[in-house]
Amino acid sequence: MKKILAFRTDRLGDYLICSKLLHSLKIKYGHLTVVCSKINYKLIVNQNFIDEVILYDKSFSIFTKLKIFIKLFFNFYFLIIAWDGKKFSILCSLFLFGKNKVAIIYKKTKKIFNTNINLYRPPLWVAKIFFRKTVTFTSRDNLFKTEHLPTLYKTLVSNFTDENNKNYYLELHSEDEKKYNHYVQKHNLSKYIFIHFDEKWLDIEGVDNDLLSALTKMSNNLNIKLIISSYNNNHNYFINLKNDYNKKKLINIVFLENLEFKVFERFINYANLNISCHSGSLVQLTGFNKAKCIDIINKKDKLWVSCWIPFNVNYQQIFKNNDDKRLTINQIFENIIKIYEKNI
Protein backbone atom coordinates (compact mmCIF):
# COMPACT_ATOMS: atom_id res chain seq x y z
CA MET A 1 0.00 0.00 0.00
CA LYS A 2 1.24 3.48 -0.92
CA LYS A 3 -0.04 6.73 0.55
CA ILE A 4 -1.43 9.58 -1.55
CA LEU A 5 -1.95 13.09 -0.15
CA ALA A 6 -4.05 15.65 -2.05
CA PHE A 7 -4.77 19.28 -1.18
CA ARG A 8 -8.17 20.58 -2.25
CA THR A 9 -8.72 23.61 0.00
CA ASP A 10 -10.89 25.55 -2.44
CA ARG A 11 -14.44 25.13 -3.77
CA LEU A 12 -16.83 22.28 -4.55
CA GLY A 13 -16.53 22.60 -8.32
CA ASP A 14 -12.74 22.38 -8.06
CA TYR A 15 -12.99 19.17 -6.04
CA LEU A 16 -15.42 17.60 -8.52
CA ILE A 17 -13.03 18.25 -11.40
CA CYS A 18 -10.39 16.00 -9.83
CA SER A 19 -12.71 13.49 -8.09
CA LYS A 20 -12.34 10.77 -10.75
CA LEU A 21 -8.56 11.14 -10.67
CA LEU A 22 -8.58 10.84 -6.88
CA HIS A 23 -10.69 7.71 -7.07
CA SER A 24 -8.36 6.09 -9.62
CA LEU A 25 -5.31 6.92 -7.45
CA LYS A 26 -7.00 5.37 -4.42
CA ILE A 27 -7.81 2.17 -6.36
CA LYS A 28 -4.26 1.91 -7.69
CA TYR A 29 -2.23 2.77 -4.58
CA GLY A 30 -4.43 1.92 -1.61
CA HIS A 31 -4.55 4.89 0.79
CA LEU A 32 -5.82 8.43 0.16
CA THR A 33 -5.75 11.49 2.42
CA VAL A 34 -7.42 14.73 1.34
CA VAL A 35 -6.90 18.11 3.02
CA CYS A 36 -10.00 20.13 2.18
CA SER A 37 -11.83 23.39 2.81
CA LYS A 38 -14.96 23.86 4.90
CA ILE A 39 -17.10 24.14 1.79
CA ASN A 40 -15.78 20.78 0.53
CA TYR A 41 -15.68 18.94 3.83
CA LYS A 42 -19.29 17.81 4.15
CA LEU A 43 -19.19 16.16 0.72
CA ILE A 44 -15.69 14.70 0.89
CA VAL A 45 -16.02 13.21 4.38
CA ASN A 46 -18.95 11.13 3.11
CA GLN A 47 -17.04 9.70 0.14
CA ASN A 48 -16.11 6.23 1.35
CA PHE A 49 -13.18 5.80 -1.01
CA ILE A 50 -11.26 8.55 0.82
CA ASP A 51 -9.49 7.09 3.84
CA GLU A 52 -8.71 10.28 5.74
CA VAL A 53 -10.18 13.79 5.46
CA ILE A 54 -8.48 16.73 7.18
CA LEU A 55 -10.30 20.05 7.46
CA TYR A 56 -8.37 23.24 6.72
CA ASP A 57 -9.49 26.86 6.62
CA LYS A 58 -7.34 29.94 6.10
CA SER A 59 -9.05 31.55 9.10
CA PHE A 60 -7.58 28.90 11.40
CA SER A 61 -5.05 30.09 13.98
CA ILE A 62 -1.34 29.52 13.42
CA PHE A 63 -1.49 26.90 16.18
CA THR A 64 -4.27 24.95 14.41
CA LYS A 65 -2.44 25.12 11.08
CA LEU A 66 0.71 23.85 12.78
CA LYS A 67 -1.24 20.92 14.26
CA ILE A 68 -2.41 19.96 10.77
CA PHE A 69 1.14 20.13 9.45
CA ILE A 70 2.48 18.00 12.32
CA LYS A 71 -0.25 15.40 11.73
CA LEU A 72 0.85 15.14 8.09
CA PHE A 73 4.57 15.34 8.91
CA PHE A 74 4.76 11.89 10.52
CA ASN A 75 3.96 10.09 7.28
CA PHE A 76 5.83 9.19 4.14
CA TYR A 77 3.76 9.76 1.00
CA PHE A 78 4.29 8.13 -2.36
CA LEU A 79 2.59 11.12 -4.01
CA ILE A 80 1.73 14.63 -2.78
CA ILE A 81 -0.59 16.72 -5.01
CA ALA A 82 -1.00 20.47 -4.47
CA TRP A 83 -3.96 20.72 -6.85
CA ASP A 84 -5.26 23.97 -5.40
CA GLY A 85 -2.03 25.96 -5.59
CA LYS A 86 -2.76 27.65 -2.26
CA LYS A 87 0.04 28.96 -0.02
CA PHE A 88 -0.64 26.49 2.80
CA SER A 89 -0.75 23.55 0.38
CA ILE A 90 2.48 24.58 -1.32
CA LEU A 91 4.32 25.14 1.97
CA CYS A 92 3.22 21.79 3.35
CA SER A 93 4.23 20.06 0.13
CA LEU A 94 7.72 21.55 0.35
CA PHE A 95 8.44 20.23 3.84
CA LEU A 96 6.51 16.97 4.03
CA PHE A 97 8.15 13.63 3.23
CA GLY A 98 7.12 12.41 -0.19
CA LYS A 99 8.71 10.45 -3.02
CA ASN A 100 6.82 12.37 -5.71
CA LYS A 101 5.47 15.90 -5.44
CA VAL A 102 3.38 17.67 -8.09
CA ALA A 103 1.71 21.08 -8.07
CA ILE A 104 -0.29 23.66 -9.97
CA ILE A 105 1.75 26.84 -10.48
CA TYR A 106 -0.31 30.01 -10.63
CA LYS A 107 1.03 32.72 -12.90
CA LYS A 108 0.04 36.38 -12.67
CA THR A 109 1.35 39.30 -14.69
CA LYS A 110 1.77 42.67 -12.97
CA LYS A 111 2.88 45.94 -14.49
CA ILE A 112 5.78 47.45 -12.54
CA PHE A 113 7.31 50.69 -13.84
CA ASN A 114 5.55 50.15 -17.20
CA THR A 115 7.08 46.68 -17.51
CA ASN A 116 5.08 43.45 -17.41
CA ILE A 117 6.50 41.15 -14.74
CA ASN A 118 5.43 37.50 -14.45
CA LEU A 119 4.88 36.35 -10.88
CA TYR A 120 4.61 32.66 -9.99
CA ARG A 121 3.27 30.79 -6.95
CA PRO A 122 5.38 28.91 -6.05
CA PRO A 123 8.41 30.63 -7.65
CA LEU A 124 9.79 28.69 -10.59
CA TRP A 125 13.11 27.96 -8.90
CA VAL A 126 11.27 26.47 -5.91
CA ALA A 127 9.11 24.36 -8.21
CA LYS A 128 12.14 23.08 -10.08
CA ILE A 129 13.89 21.95 -6.90
CA PHE A 130 11.01 20.45 -4.92
CA PHE A 131 8.43 19.22 -7.43
CA ARG A 132 8.73 16.37 -9.90
CA LYS A 133 6.08 17.85 -12.16
CA THR A 134 4.15 21.11 -12.43
CA VAL A 135 1.56 22.65 -14.74
CA THR A 136 0.92 26.38 -15.05
CA PHE A 137 -2.43 28.15 -14.85
CA THR A 138 -2.61 31.90 -15.42
CA SER A 139 -4.84 34.63 -14.01
CA ARG A 140 -7.94 35.72 -15.89
CA ASP A 141 -6.12 38.84 -17.14
CA ASN A 142 -3.60 36.96 -19.28
CA LEU A 143 -5.25 33.62 -19.92
CA PHE A 144 -4.39 31.43 -22.90
CA LYS A 145 -7.05 29.60 -24.86
CA THR A 146 -5.36 26.26 -24.33
CA GLU A 147 -5.80 26.28 -20.55
CA HIS A 148 -8.53 23.88 -19.47
CA LEU A 149 -8.49 22.83 -15.83
CA PRO A 150 -9.87 19.26 -16.21
CA THR A 151 -7.09 18.67 -18.76
CA LEU A 152 -4.41 20.33 -16.61
CA TYR A 153 -5.39 18.26 -13.57
CA LYS A 154 -5.17 15.09 -15.65
CA THR A 155 -1.77 16.12 -17.03
CA LEU A 156 -0.43 16.81 -13.54
CA VAL A 157 -0.92 13.20 -12.39
CA SER A 158 -0.56 11.44 -15.77
CA ASN A 159 2.62 9.65 -14.57
CA PHE A 160 0.59 7.95 -11.83
CA THR A 161 -2.80 7.11 -13.36
CA ASP A 162 -4.18 6.41 -16.83
CA GLU A 163 -7.58 7.88 -15.90
CA ASN A 164 -8.73 10.21 -18.70
CA ASN A 165 -10.78 12.45 -16.37
CA LYS A 166 -13.68 12.54 -18.83
CA ASN A 167 -16.16 12.22 -15.99
CA TYR A 168 -16.33 12.79 -12.25
CA TYR A 169 -16.76 10.44 -9.32
CA LEU A 170 -19.49 10.89 -6.75
CA GLU A 171 -20.79 8.17 -4.45
CA LEU A 172 -24.58 8.15 -4.48
CA HIS A 173 -26.83 5.94 -2.35
CA SER A 174 -30.43 4.78 -2.52
CA GLU A 175 -31.22 7.19 0.31
CA ASP A 176 -30.29 10.13 -1.93
CA GLU A 177 -32.76 8.93 -4.58
CA LYS A 178 -35.46 8.47 -1.93
CA LYS A 179 -35.02 12.03 -0.69
CA TYR A 180 -35.23 13.33 -4.25
CA ASN A 181 -38.38 11.29 -4.91
CA HIS A 182 -39.94 12.72 -1.75
CA TYR A 183 -39.68 16.22 -3.26
CA VAL A 184 -40.99 14.95 -6.61
CA GLN A 185 -44.12 13.53 -5.00
CA LYS A 186 -44.63 16.46 -2.64
CA HIS A 187 -44.52 19.05 -5.45
CA ASN A 188 -45.98 16.86 -8.22
CA LEU A 189 -42.91 17.21 -10.43
CA SER A 190 -42.43 15.67 -13.85
CA LYS A 191 -40.81 18.10 -16.27
CA TYR A 192 -38.95 21.01 -14.69
CA ILE A 193 -36.21 23.60 -15.18
CA PHE A 194 -33.74 23.86 -12.30
CA ILE A 195 -32.41 27.39 -11.59
CA HIS A 196 -29.71 28.10 -9.04
CA PHE A 197 -29.40 31.64 -7.63
CA ASP A 198 -26.34 33.10 -5.91
CA GLU A 199 -24.29 36.31 -5.76
CA LYS A 200 -23.41 36.12 -9.46
CA TRP A 201 -26.90 37.31 -10.43
CA LEU A 202 -26.37 40.67 -8.70
CA ASP A 203 -25.02 42.57 -11.73
CA ILE A 204 -27.97 41.78 -14.02
CA GLU A 205 -30.11 44.81 -14.76
CA GLY A 206 -33.64 44.57 -13.34
CA VAL A 207 -32.93 41.51 -11.20
CA ASP A 208 -34.11 43.28 -8.02
CA ASN A 209 -37.62 44.02 -9.25
CA ASP A 210 -38.35 42.06 -12.43
CA LEU A 211 -37.10 38.57 -11.66
CA LEU A 212 -40.46 37.01 -10.78
CA SER A 213 -42.13 38.37 -13.92
CA ALA A 214 -39.27 36.97 -16.06
CA LEU A 215 -39.57 33.56 -14.39
CA THR A 216 -43.36 33.53 -14.68
CA LYS A 217 -43.19 34.34 -18.38
CA MET A 218 -40.74 31.49 -18.99
CA SER A 219 -42.84 29.01 -17.00
CA ASN A 220 -46.03 30.00 -18.83
CA ASN A 221 -44.48 30.09 -22.31
CA LEU A 222 -42.82 26.70 -21.93
CA ASN A 223 -45.58 25.15 -19.80
CA ILE A 224 -43.07 23.82 -17.31
CA LYS A 225 -42.40 24.05 -13.59
CA LEU A 226 -39.40 25.96 -12.26
CA ILE A 227 -37.37 24.74 -9.29
CA ILE A 228 -35.64 27.63 -7.51
CA SER A 229 -32.48 26.64 -5.64
CA SER A 230 -30.14 28.68 -3.46
CA TYR A 231 -27.92 28.42 -0.38
CA ASN A 232 -28.18 31.00 2.41
CA ASN A 233 -29.04 33.71 -0.10
CA ASN A 234 -29.71 37.01 1.70
CA HIS A 235 -29.25 39.30 -1.29
CA ASN A 236 -32.01 41.86 -1.91
CA TYR A 237 -32.97 40.44 -5.30
CA PHE A 238 -33.64 37.00 -3.81
CA ILE A 239 -35.53 38.39 -0.80
CA ASN A 240 -37.68 40.46 -3.21
CA LEU A 241 -38.29 37.37 -5.35
CA LYS A 242 -39.53 35.37 -2.37
CA ASN A 243 -41.70 38.24 -1.13
CA ASP A 244 -43.29 38.67 -4.56
CA TYR A 245 -43.80 34.93 -4.86
CA ASN A 246 -45.47 34.70 -1.44
CA LYS A 247 -47.96 37.40 -2.45
CA LYS A 248 -48.95 35.60 -5.67
CA LYS A 249 -48.56 31.91 -4.66
CA LEU A 250 -47.66 30.69 -8.14
CA ILE A 251 -48.07 26.93 -8.45
CA ASN A 252 -45.52 26.48 -11.25
CA ILE A 253 -42.61 27.85 -9.21
CA VAL A 254 -41.18 25.82 -6.33
CA PHE A 255 -38.56 27.10 -3.86
CA LEU A 256 -36.15 24.43 -2.56
CA GLU A 257 -33.41 26.19 -0.62
CA ASN A 258 -30.37 24.67 1.09
CA LEU A 259 -30.80 21.23 -0.43
CA GLU A 260 -28.44 18.46 0.64
CA PHE A 261 -25.66 18.29 -1.92
CA LYS A 262 -26.51 14.86 -3.30
CA VAL A 263 -30.20 15.76 -3.56
CA PHE A 264 -29.09 18.93 -5.34
CA GLU A 265 -27.21 16.65 -7.76
CA ARG A 266 -30.31 14.47 -8.32
CA PHE A 267 -32.36 17.54 -9.27
CA ILE A 268 -29.68 18.55 -11.77
CA ASN A 269 -29.57 15.02 -13.17
CA TYR A 270 -33.30 14.81 -13.91
CA ALA A 271 -33.90 18.41 -14.99
CA ASN A 272 -34.97 19.23 -18.53
CA LEU A 273 -32.61 22.19 -18.25
CA ASN A 274 -30.30 23.70 -15.62
CA ILE A 275 -29.63 27.44 -15.42
CA SER A 276 -27.02 29.33 -13.40
CA CYS A 277 -24.71 32.33 -13.51
CA HIS A 278 -21.68 30.07 -13.58
CA SER A 279 -22.22 28.39 -10.24
CA GLY A 280 -19.17 26.13 -10.24
CA SER A 281 -20.77 23.19 -8.45
CA LEU A 282 -23.85 23.20 -10.71
CA VAL A 283 -21.81 23.41 -13.91
CA GLN A 284 -19.47 20.63 -12.76
CA LEU A 285 -22.37 18.40 -11.71
CA THR A 286 -23.91 18.72 -15.17
CA GLY A 287 -20.62 17.22 -16.37
CA PHE A 288 -21.01 14.37 -13.90
CA ASN A 289 -24.39 13.33 -15.30
CA LYS A 290 -24.31 14.86 -18.81
CA ALA A 291 -27.23 17.16 -18.01
CA LYS A 292 -28.24 20.20 -20.05
CA CYS A 293 -26.92 23.53 -18.79
CA ILE A 294 -27.22 27.20 -19.73
CA ASP A 295 -24.51 29.32 -18.14
CA ILE A 296 -25.20 33.08 -17.88
CA ILE A 297 -21.90 34.99 -17.92
CA ASN A 298 -20.33 38.34 -18.76
CA LYS A 299 -19.07 38.33 -22.33
CA LYS A 300 -15.57 39.40 -21.26
CA ASP A 301 -15.34 36.30 -19.04
CA LYS A 302 -16.03 33.78 -21.82
CA LEU A 303 -12.46 32.51 -22.03
CA TRP A 304 -11.99 32.46 -18.26
CA VAL A 305 -15.23 30.56 -17.64
CA SER A 306 -14.42 28.09 -20.42
CA CYS A 307 -11.42 26.87 -18.40
CA TRP A 308 -13.83 24.99 -16.10
CA ILE A 309 -16.21 23.45 -18.64
CA PRO A 310 -16.50 19.69 -18.03
CA PHE A 311 -15.88 17.21 -20.82
CA ASN A 312 -19.22 15.40 -20.83
CA VAL A 313 -21.80 18.16 -20.80
CA ASN A 314 -24.59 19.60 -22.92
CA TYR A 315 -23.46 23.14 -22.18
CA GLN A 316 -24.23 26.54 -23.65
CA GLN A 317 -23.22 30.04 -22.65
CA ILE A 318 -25.38 33.14 -22.96
CA PHE A 319 -24.24 36.64 -22.09
CA LYS A 320 -25.36 39.26 -19.58
CA ASN A 321 -24.34 41.94 -22.04
CA ASN A 322 -24.25 42.59 -25.77
CA ASP A 323 -20.96 44.40 -26.42
CA ASP A 324 -21.17 47.43 -24.08
CA LYS A 325 -24.92 47.19 -23.46
CA ARG A 326 -26.17 45.27 -20.44
CA LEU A 327 -29.15 43.01 -21.01
CA THR A 328 -32.10 43.12 -18.62
CA ILE A 329 -33.27 40.07 -16.69
CA ASN A 330 -36.31 39.90 -19.00
CA GLN A 331 -34.13 39.92 -22.12
CA ILE A 332 -31.89 37.16 -20.73
CA PHE A 333 -34.84 34.89 -19.98
CA GLU A 334 -36.37 35.64 -23.39
CA ASN A 335 -33.11 34.35 -24.90
CA ILE A 336 -33.32 31.22 -22.74
CA ILE A 337 -36.92 30.61 -23.89
CA LYS A 338 -35.77 30.76 -27.53
CA ILE A 339 -32.93 28.30 -26.88
CA TYR A 340 -35.26 25.90 -25.06
CA GLU A 341 -37.89 26.00 -27.80
CA LYS A 342 -35.29 25.43 -30.48
CA ASN A 343 -33.07 22.77 -28.92
CA ILE A 344 -34.81 21.02 -26.03
What's the pLDDT score for residue 328? Answer: 96
* Mean pLDDT on 44-52: 96
Contact in structure between 339 and 193 (CB atoms under 8 Å): no
Question: What band does 342 get if pLDDT is binned at 50, 70 and 90?
Answer: confident
Render pLDDT for 274-303 as a digit per residue (tens, 0 to 9): 999 988 889 888 877 788 999 999 988 888
What's the pLDDT score for residue 164? Answer: 84
* Mean pLDDT on 12-17: 90
**Which superfamily is assigned to 2-156 in CATH?**
Glycogen Phosphorylase B; (3.40.50.2000)
Sign of CA dihedral 150, 155, 161, 163: positive
Render pLDDT for 224-263 as a digit per residue (tens, 0 to 9): 999 999 999 999 999 999 999 988 878 899 999 999 999 9
Better-scored residue on pLDDT, 301 or 100: 100
Render pLDDT for 57-74 as a digit per residue (tens, 0 to 9): 999 999 999 999 999 999
Q: What is the dihedral of CA 25, 30, 31, 37, to 10 degrees?
A: 30
User: CA-CA distance, 83 to 105, in Å (whole number)?
Assistant: 9
Contact in structure between 339 and 311 (CB atoms under 8 Å): no
Q: Do domains 2-156 and 179-343 have the same CATH topology?
A: yes
Listing DSSP states for 100-153 in one string gives EEEEEEEEEEEEETTEEEEEEES-HHHHHHH-SEEEEEE-GGG--TT--HHHHH
Contact in structure between 153 and 18 (CB atoms under 8 Å): yes
Query: Residue ranges per domain, the chain?
Result: 2-156, 179-343
* Mean pLDDT on 205-215: 95
The answer to whether domain 179-343 has CATH 3.40.50.2000 is yes
Q: pTM surpassing 0.95? A: no
Q: Could you tell me if residue 278 is left (phi over 0), alpha (psi between -120 and 50 degrees) or otherwise beta?
A: left
Q: Side-chain half-sphere of 176: how many Cα atoms within 13 Å?
A: 17
